[in-house]
Amino acid sequence: MTSRFDFAAVMLLAPLIAVSCGSYTALTHGGGADGAGAGASAHPAATTGTNTAPSEPRVVTDLSQLSSSNPLAQLDQQRQLLSGQSTPQSSQPSNQTVSNIGRFYIANQKTAQLIEAPSRPPGDARLLNAKAAQYPEFAYDIANRMLAVAQDMAPEKLEQHRLPEDIKPIVLTAVMTPEGKLTDIYIEHRSGFSAVDQLFIDACKKGIWARNPPAGALSSDGTYRLRIEGIIFNYSYNHENLYSYATHVGLGVL
């Protein structure tokens, strides 16, 4: 059975075959009794090139004389179409595509920054005296717990507002029972900003407790007495003018 490719090839070459056959007939079968003479004179005319009259037959030895296009290239293109192939295209994006992508990321840059998960603002806990350093596990456990509570509560308690630049440390004294339960909080020095004072008092209420506290850390009255120093500063703010804070907590054992 003739394939689609063979049919297409025949269709493309049919005009060429018809022209060639017509020329051959004119050369070998001249009109009337002068057929032989016509055949003899036709061949030299073909070699003269452009001097041949348009109505006279000529011998075609080069298929490119019939058309400016390449018939073999056309045949190859037809074969690719019949086999389902297409002309390969460049995988590089166009200038218009690159421009559109650039505009997309510039337009959405603000959104990408807003959805990025914020990290915890800076803060640290330290020990204030030698007695606290003598029982570091006990002292650091309470100080770090207070720090974490203060950092978590600060955005809500301070409403992410800008704090005064002249804020001072708040100094508190906390009292625990021998079992490690908080009983009292005394304010020794205020920070000068009531919201900060309340922040650290609340951090003491949630963060000061201990399981099996060391007996050697007891004060002379049989309780655990802790000196707490806390201070908080403006750390950064965003495009909505909402602030985050740096928090510092110190703990001494009295």
Mean pLDDT value of segment 60-78: 59
d(CA 51, CA 34): 22
Name the pTM for this structure: 0.55
**What are 128-160's pLDDT values in tens digits?**
999 999 999 999 999 999 999 999 999 999 999
* Tokens of residue 197, six digits: 């004072």
Q: Are 182 and 175 in contact (CB under 8 A)?
A: yes
More confident residue, 169 or 22: 169
**What are 95-129's pLDDT values in tens digits?**
554 444 444 444 444 433 333 445 677 899 999 99
Domains of the chain, with CATH numbers?
Answer: 4-82 (no CATH), 123-253 (3.30.1150.10)
Q: Is the pLDDT of residue 22 over 50?
A: no
> Which residue from 137, 136, 213, 128 is spatially nearest to 173, judged by alpha carbons?
128
**What are 177-213's pLDDT values in tens digits?**
999 999 999 999 999 999 999 999 999 999 999 999 9
